[in-house]
Amino acid sequence: MEVKELGHLVLYVRDLDRSRRFYGDVLGWKEIAPEGGPGFPATAFSSGRTHHELLLIEVGPDAAPIPSGRHVGLYHFGLKVGTTDDELREARDAVAGRGAELGARIVGASDHTVTHSLYVQDPDGNEIELYIDVQPEVWRKDPAAVFAPIKPLRI
């Protein structure tokens, strides 16, 4: 067997409407709304690359929070938002504005040599790396550059 690509992510969320607005209105993913839905509070999003890349399932306001600090499990997932620092600045401004109104926040920014990355938490605390590949794509010529020392990002 060989994995061909990462297909999709599924996240549990407290408030489906709030998360729908964050992933759709702030991050700009297209919501896929099949007639009748899945029979429980959920929605899916796609960038157009495949049928769906993100599925959100509402678990309600009393769901256990994501543990803070270092723990086993998902740390973050990455979303490429373009190819230029201007596009990354646009993402930063969207999260700092409309995203913050929904409970999202920026928690970091790094120059990884191969990417320029912003780290944000969605309204439920799931961490997302919003990034651009540094042009020209350094990692294509030097795959080991992915482990280059991390520098502060100045955009």
Segment 48-103, tens digit of pLDDT: 999 999 999 999 999 999 999 999 999 999 999 999 999 999 999 999 999 999 99
Q: Which domain holds residue 106?
A: 77-152
CB 55, CB 44: distance < 8 Å: yes
pLDDT at residue 36, rounded to an integer? 63
> Does residue 35 have a pLDDT over 70?
no
pLDDT at residue 138, rounded to an integer? 85
Domain CATH number, residue 130? 3.10.180.10
Is the domain of 44 the same as that of 88? Answer: no
- Work out the percent of the chain whose per-residue pLDDT is above 70: 98
CB 69, CB 136: distance < 8 Å: no
In a domain, 90, yes or no: yes
In a domain, 107, yes or no: yes
> Does residue 21 have a pLDDT over 80?
yes
Count of structural domains within the chain: 2
CB 119, CB 109: distance < 8 Å: yes
pLDDT at residue 94, rounded to an integer? 98
Is the domain of 81 the same as that of 54? Answer: no
In a domain, 2, yes or no: no
Q: Which residue has the higher pLDDT, 37 or 46?
A: 46
Is the domain of 83 the same as that of 54? Answer: no
- Please compute the mean of the pLDDT values over residues 7-16 and round it to a whole number: 96
pLDDT at residue 25, rounded to an integer? 96
- Work out the percent of the chain whose per-residue pLDDT is above 90: 87
pLDDT at residue 34, rounded to an integer? 64
pLDDT at residue 38, rounded to an integer? 79
Average pLDDT, the chain: 94
Is the domain of 84 the same as that of 125? Answer: yes
Is the domain of 109 the same as that of 146? Answer: yes
Is the domain of 36 the same as that of 101? Answer: no
CB 140, CB 100: distance < 8 Å: no
pLDDT at residue 109, rounded to an integer? 98
In a domain, 66, yes or no: no
Q: What is the CA radius of gyration of the chain?
A: 16
Provide φ and ψ at 59, rounded to 5°: -115, 0
This prediction's pTM: 0.93
Q: Which of 41, 138, 120, 124 is nearest to 81 (CA)?
A: 120
